[in-house]
Structure formats: C-alpha cells, structure tokens
Structure 1
Amino acid sequence: MDIDTLLSDLLEQNLLYLLGAVLLVVLAIKAVKIVPQSEQHVVERFGRLHSVLGPGINLIVPFLDRIAHKISILERQLPTASQDAITKDNVLVQVDTSVFYRITQPEKTVYRIRDVDAAISTTVAGIVRAEIGKMDLDEVQSNRNELIATIKVLVEDSVDDWGIEVTRAEILDVNLDQATRDAMLQQLNAERARRAQVTEAEGHKRSVELNADAELYAAEQIAKARRIQADAEAYATSAVAQAIAANGLEAAQYQVALKQVEALNALGASPGSSTIVVPASALEAFGDAFKMLKGKS
C-alpha cells in the first residue's frame, strides 16, 4: 500500500469521525430543550400530542419529537369589552368588563379551542347579560361586588375544559342611556327638595317647641313669684293678727297712730309745701295719736 492510499484511508476515517461528531452534536442540541420559567412547550410525535415540557432542561427524541406550541403561562388581560344588557326593570345599560386569566393546561388550550381570547370574551358577554337581566338597576349599582364574584365563578365553570384559570373579572363601568340619566337626575332633584322641606319643617317644629318651652318657663316663674308674694302677705297678715290677739285692740290703734304721725311728718318735710291745711276731724285724730304715742313712750 502506497502513501497516497494510506493518506486517503486516514482522511476518509477522519471525515467519518468528524461527521459522526457533528451528528452527535446536532442530536444533542436537538434532544436538549431549555424552557423558560414563563412558558410551557407542547411536544408532538408524529403529529400527535406526546408531552408538555415544563420550565428548565428537558429531553426529547430528535427528529421524532418536535415542539409544536410554545405557550406563555403568564397572566393575561383581555381587552376591555362593552356589551349592552337589559335589567329586570327594563333599563338598557352598557357594561364595560375586563377579564384576567392564565393558561394552566396548554394541551387543552391548543387542542380544544382555536381563539381563546375571543371565546372567553363571548362567554363573559353572555354571562353578564344573563346576570344583569336578573337584577334591577339599583341592585346592579349597589351589588357590584357580588355581581363580579358571580360572573367570575360562572366564567371559570365555562372555560374549565379549555385549561384556563380565570384570576379576576372586573366590571369597570355601567353606563346608562341619556333618557334614563335624565329621569334619574329628576328623581334625585325631587329627593333633594323633599329632604330640604323635611329639614325646614323639622326646624320650624323645633322653634315652636322651644318658644313654647320658654313661655311655659316664664309662666312657671311668674306663678312662683306670685306664690311667694302671697305667702309673704299671708305671713304679714298672720303676724298682725297674732299681735292683735296678743296685745288687744290697743296695739292695732297704736300702729295706726304711728302711721298717721309718719304721714304727717312726711307731708311737712315736703319742699314744695309751706302751708298745710288739715281738717278738724283729722286734727282730733292726730291729737289722739300723739297722746297714744306719748303714753307708749
């Protein structure tokens, strides 16, 4: 064997080894799959579902298995949707809703539903219309939290076969048509006017009650003063009667004479009087009074 033949054989062997090495590298690259934390990969073998790869390093059979779908498992938000609904009391409302969900079983999502976002939006719209149709407008406004909870539960039940978890459902706004708004505004203004009238009437009633209480208090105080005055007069009369009973008629005459003398002195001390004309009978009475006072002294 010559040198050329030997070199040719070595080159062929080296080429085979090189091709084998390259093939091993390619097989290794094809077999090893690294899945990000936020994703799950659906693997098909001969066109059928074979497995679902979770986050991390995974191994597949090269050329037999292929990654058909890369599904994000992050929470998603559907675009805000508006749908018309009619309440139990026949009021047309426009409801703005938003739904948050995430895919938990990608094999169900990719093989059972084509457009998951559109399917969820349609489901939410139907449930919202049905639930609002069971409630009056006032209940829709006041029980929004309960309505949201009910919608979330019903949507979860409806999309369970699609491998989806509904994390949140929100009713962003409930809009009314213009005619209903005008009617509600009139009702609100009427209620405000009624409350104002009630408040004014209650204020007037309270004012009357306070005035009556004041008049009653004044009457009670006047009656109390008169009662005290009557008690004083009764006491004075009783004292005089007791004095007369104890000292006889002479004591009473003495008091009368004393008052007569005091009156005469006061009359004489008046600056505008220089001459006093006294009847004869009065002089006799004053004389008797002076005698009585002299005798007492």
Structure 2
Amino acid sequence: MGNLFCCVQVDQSTVAIREQFGKFDEVLEPGCHCLPWFLGKQVAGYLSLRVQQLDVRCETKTKDNVFVTVVASIQYRALAERANDAFYKLSNTRGQIQAYVFDVIRASVPKLLLDDTFEQKNDIAKTVENELEKAMSHYGYEIVQTLIVDIEPDEHVKRAMNEINAAARMRVAATEKAEAEKILQIKRAEV
C-alpha cells in the first residue's frame, strides 16, 4: 500500500537502496521516504546494518600430519557509508567470507604442530581477521571480530592423546605409591 502513495518505510538498523530506472540513485536511511514510482524510482532492496555471525568449519592437516577441524566464528556487518558497495559488489557475502577463512586456515595451520595449534589459536584468529578485513573492506563490510572457537583433532588422535595422558598419570601414581611403601617400610624398620 505504501507504493500506492509513493511512500516507503525503512526500519531501524537497515538501509534501502533506491534506484531510478534501474540505476543506483541513493541509499535511504531509516525512516519514511517518498518514492514517486511514476518517475521511475523504486527500492531495489534492503541491507541490514546489524552485526551478523558466520561459523565456519574447516578441516586441515597440521605439520605433524594430524587432521583437525577448526571452527572459526566471524562477526561482520555492512557499513552504512558503503552500503551501495555492499549491495551491488557482492552477491554471496557468507560464501565469500567462508572462502577467505578456508584459505587462511589452510595456509597457517599446516605450519604448526598439533600442540602449537592449540596454543596459538589467538594468532590464527588474528591472521584470519586481518586477511578478511583487507578483502571485505573493498565490498563495504567490516569484520567486527574473529574467534577460533574450537580445534578438534580426529577421533583416533583424541583417543590416543587421552591414553597417553592416562598412562602418564598412572606412572606418576605408581611412583607416588612406591614412595609411600618405601616410607612405610622405613618406619617399620625403625620400630
């Protein structure tokens, strides 16, 4: 009905892209706007300015040949002052971000050993964020934050790591038990 009266409403945290006869004309801020359709003006689409989150799961191999699944959480948003770039230059934002994340993770994790991968997850996140920021700024997007939320080794590797850890703890327990027995025998001999 708004189009009948040449009016359109743009919601908060959203911008509208106005075209005139199919050509970009203006970015409309939140509020009420007149769009005289008989002059060829129309809304081409809307663009949210809210922060959005994309979780990316990427399988890669470490330097010591262990397959891991790295889960990166990317928070991004379209910039109001570059809304026309965000609307027209990129049709699949999530796919583009995912491709860059895959590229950076698969380039950086294979240089690290498994243990180093866990220790340097903040460095990996920073590298991903810097590369994304460079790439996505051309399309009118800002990368708010990048987190590596999970590094998950292959199930067999996890099991083997747990067995190694359990064996080490059993060895410590056996040593402690032997020390306790030794002290008890010395005390008995003294009496």
> Shared fold by TM > 0.5?
yes
In the alignment, structure 1 residue 162 sits paired with structure 2 residue 139:
yes
- Deviation of 1:39 (Å): 1.1
**Unaligned ranges ≥5, structure 1:** 1-25, 216-297
Q: RMSD of the alignment, in Å? A: 3.2
Report the residue type matching 2:151 in the other structure: V
TM-score (norm 2): 0.79
**What is the CA deviation profile of residues 126-162 of structure 1, one whole-angstrom value per residue up to 9, with x for unaligned ones?**
2222222232211222333343333223222221111
- Deviation of 1:103 (Å): 1.4
1:189 aligned residue (125, 147, 166): 166
Partner of 1:134: 111
Distance 1:70 1:140 in 2: 40
Whether the 8 Å contact between 1:127 and 1:154 is mirrored in structure 2 is yes
Partner of 1:91: 66
Partner of 1:75: 51
Distance 1:154 1:204 in 2: 59
Partner of 2:41: 65
| Equivalent position SS for 1:154 | helix
Report the residue type matching 1:66 in the other structure: Q
| Equivalent position SS for 2:111 | coil
Distance 2:159 2:8 in 1: 63
| Equivalent position SS for 2:173 | helix
Tell me how many residue pairs correspond in the alignment: 187
Partner of 1:110: 87
Whether the 8 Å contact between 1:127 and 1:155 is mirrored in structure 2 is no
**What is the CA deviation profile of residues 193-235 of structure 1, one whole-angstrom value per residue up to 9, with x for unaligned ones?**
3322443455567x39x86xxx7xxxxxxxxxxxxxxxxxxxx
Report the residue type matching 2:45 in the other structure: H
Whether the 8 Å contact between 2:56 and 2:101 is mirrored in structure 1 is no
Whether the 8 Å contact between 1:95 and 1:171 is mirrored in structure 2 is yes
More strand by share: 2
**For residues 93 and 28 of structure 1, do their structure 2 counterparts lie closer, same or farther at Cα, with a shift above 3 Å needed?**
closer
Structure whose CA Rg is larger: 1
**What is the CA deviation profile of residues 161-219 of structure 1, one whole-angstrom value per residue up to 9, with x for unaligned ones?**
111122233333322223322331232123213322443455567x39x86xxx7xxxx
Q: Which has the higher contact order (CA 8 A, sep 6+)?
A: 2
Partner of 1:123: 100
- Deviation of 1:113 (Å): 1.3
Partner of 1:290: none
| Percent identity of equivalent pairs | 27
| Equivalent position SS for 1:159 | helix
1:179 aligned residue (148, 151, 156): 156
Distance 2:179 2:20 in 1: 84
- Deviation of 1:85 (Å): 0.6
**What is the CA deviation profile of residues 8-48 of structure 1, one whole-angstrom value per residue up to 9, with x for unaligned ones?**
xxxxxxxxxxxxxxxxxx99932x44321121011122322
Report the residue type matching 1:68 in the other structure: A
